[in-house]
Amino acid sequence: MLKGNYFAVNVTPETGKPLAYDIQLAVDDPLYLKGFVFLSDKDPFVIGALDWIGISCESLDKLKNCIASAVQTKKECVQIHTTHFHDAPHSNLTAVNILKQYGWNDVVEQYYDVDLLDRLCVDVMPAVREAVRKAVPITHVGYGNAEVHEVASNRRITGEDGKIKHTRYSSCSDSHVRSLPEGLIDPYIDLITLWNHENCIASASYYATHPMSYYRTAMCSSDFVGMARNMFSDLVTFAPHLYFNGAGGNITAGKYNDGEKKVRYELAVKLFNGLKEAWENTKKEPVDSFDYTHNLLHLPMDERFCLSECVRILGDQSSDTNDVQRASRKLAWDMWYEKHPGIDVSVLSINKTKVLHMPGELFVEYQLYAKQKYPQFNICMAAYGEYGTSYIGVKQSYFEGGYETQPTVTKVSEDSEPIIKACIDELICM
């Protein structure tokens, strides 16, 4: 019999501690790790949505190992994804150790809250143990989807030469750029509901876009996504809700967001309306099958920003802080990848619903590929797992240029596309 339960841990940093870009002055919204433990005849399987911008390398390993130990499962059976809020922390112990090695302790203090990760690891273990202790039968599963209107838009706009002409970031003050077409997106939000007979235990949604209306406020925030998921739990399901960011690396709300503060609420209502419609479209059925399969994804390193240049930047105490950050993260990814056989990825299958757990800031093309190739399944995708890769574009995007595929930004090469698609195929068809 399939059983399970929800857990949550507060992961809000203290005042005076670093967020991804600023030192926190106050709390706008509390941040959480929201997760669910599945118990079956296999090893326990854990999914979690962490309200940080990203978690990478040794940091992700540490968190997954703590959770795995607490529920007595394997590390690869723990899938943690970040919601990618930008007024939120970033954790990368590998990069922290590199910065310290080269004497950049001030950069560590400015950008990383190591104590927060330690606190999370301490707090999450009793939380997941309690979830296991109080697990209840999952008798039914529901799946529904709906179109979300006027939230997502493609951030990359090409000119006549096929190169990136405009970039629509999370907010866009240029009315002409906002007036341009949405571009390639996945307009649908996917919703999974888990039931103990007539009682909804928890729900999880999957939607591809950067989740920011505005940021750099020095106050941690879950932005419009947090508002929408709270409204959905409080007004519709009366049950916990996990929100997973899909393959939204090249997707933002920029077409529909001029950066005015009132737009945050407007975007939240639009996302909530999509969630509510997905709930109304949900088909609920008895759980007939439950399984999960994991695999290792091997992605080639982008060599354009070479490791020797990273070492040179880190060794020069006059280097720009942004360059130091980029160099430490590139070197961290190389060091971590050298020690690991690949990136943990997996698929969770309940009846005809399949959830792909993928790394980094994947472009939406990968999500659309999976959905279009396998229409016989309800395909959901959670990206923003292992964040050490940064952006993962498609091959064409490297020719187009733009921010996401710059040598100092992405860590993986243009040859990654067929490898990722083959991995998706293998996971779904296993």
Alpha carbon distances (Å) from 281 to 87, 146, 353, 374: 33, 7, 15, 20
Alpha carbon distances (Å) from 377 to 182, 188, 202, 207, 404: 27, 15, 21, 17, 30
At residue 84's C-alpha, the angle toward residues 183 and 274, to 5°, is: 55
- Is-contact 6 134, C-beta < 8 A? no
Distance CA 416, CA 333 (A): 16
Q: Supply 351's token pair.
A: 């009846």
The pLDDT assigned to 424 comes to 98
Residue identified by tokens 């001030």 is 106
| pLDDT string in tens for the chain (430-residue length) | 999 999 999 999 999 999 999 999 999 999 999 999 999 999 999 999 999 999 999 999 999 999 999 999 999 999 999 999 999 999 999 999 999 999 999 999 999 999 999 999 999 999 999 999 999 999 999 999 999 999 999 999 999 999 999 999 999 999 999 999 999 999 999 999 999 999 999 999 999 999 999 999 999 999 999 999 999 999 999 999 999 999 999 999 999 999 999 999 999 999 999 999 999 999 999 999 999 999 999 999 999 999 999 999 999 999 999 999 999 999 999 999 999 989 999 999 999 999 999 999 999 999 999 999 999 999 999 999 999 999 999 999 999 999 999 999 999 999 999 999 999 999 999 7
CB-based contacts of 396: which residues, under 8 Å, 6+ apart?
none
For residue 394, which amino acid is it?
V
3-state secondary structure of 322: helix
Alpha carbon distances (Å) from 394 to 21, 53, 364, 407: 27, 22, 9, 14
Number of neighbours of residue 265 by Cβ within 10 angstroms: 13
Number of neighbours of residue 409 by Cβ within 10 angstroms: 18
Report the domain count for the chain: 1
| Total length of the chain | 430
Distance CA 55, CA 92 (A): 6
Specify whether the backbone of 132 is left (phi greater than 0), alpha (psi in -120 to 50) or beta.
alpha
DSSP at 162: S
Q: Supply 428's token pair.
A: 């779904």
Number of neighbours of residue 417 by Cβ within 10 angstroms: 21
For residue 3, which amino acid is it?
K
3-state secondary structure of 349: strand
Query: For residue 147, what are the domain limits?
Result: 1-430
- Is-contact 37 5, C-beta < 8 A? yes
CB-based contacts of 66: which residues, under 8 Å, 6+ apart?
121, 124, 125
Distance CA 95, CA 308 (A): 16
CB-based contacts of 82: which residues, under 8 Å, 6+ apart?
49, 50, 51, 52, 53, 54, 55, 245, 384, 387
Give first-to-last CA distance, the chain, whole Å. 22
Pairing mode, if any, of strands 290-297 and 283-286? unpaired
Query: Strands across the sheet with 199-207, in order?
Result: 241-245, 199-207, 188-196, 140-147, 283-286
Nearest CA to 38 out of 30, 48, 28 is that of 48
Distance CA 180, CA 178 (A): 6
The pLDDT assigned to 189 comes to 98
